[in-house]
């Protein structure tokens, strides 16, 4: 549970790998807002519930799905 409640810089980078314009900043994949620095995105995610919408819930769910997918891939890997 604690891994899902803690969003890391790596989680944000993983989620934003699909963005087309990284030179313009880093995009919150939940709200599609662009921020100039990773620390700005992380602060936004942690405090977004004060704006009436929780991006942290979105990222926690995404992280849980990635971890589930990774476990499934590791279980399906040959030689295990």
Condensed to tens digits (0 to 9), the pLDDT of residues 23-45 reads 677 888 788 888 888 888 888 88
pLDDT band at 1 (very low <50, low <70, confident <90, very high): very low
Domain ranges of the chain: 9-76
- Read off the DSSP letter of residue 77: S
Position 79 scores a pLDDT of: 66
Under DSSP, the state recorded for 54 is: -
Asked whether the predicted pLDDT for residue 64 surpasses 50, the reply is yes
Burial call 10-41: b when 16+ CB within 10 Å, e when fewer: ebbeebbeeeeeeeebbbbbbeeebbeeeeeb
**Structure confidence at residue 19 as a pLDDT band (50, 70, 90):** low
pTM of the model: 0.55
Q: 21: pLDDT confidence band, cut at 50, 70 and 90?
A: low
> What's the CA gap between 37 and 61, in Å, rounded?
23
CB 59 within 8 A of CB 11: yes
How many C-beta atoms lie closer than 10 Å to residue 3's C-beta? 12
């Amino acid at each position: 549970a604690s891994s899902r409640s803690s969003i890391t810089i790596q989680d944000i980078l993983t989620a934003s790998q699909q963005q087309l314009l990284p030179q313009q900043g880093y995009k919150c994949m939940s709200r599609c807002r662009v921020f100039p620095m990773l620390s700005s995105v992380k602060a936004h995610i942690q405090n977004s519930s004060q704006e009436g919408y929780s991006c942290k819930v979105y990222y926690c769910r995404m992280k849980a799905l990635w971890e589930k997918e990774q476990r499934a891939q590791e279980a399906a890997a040959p030689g295990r």
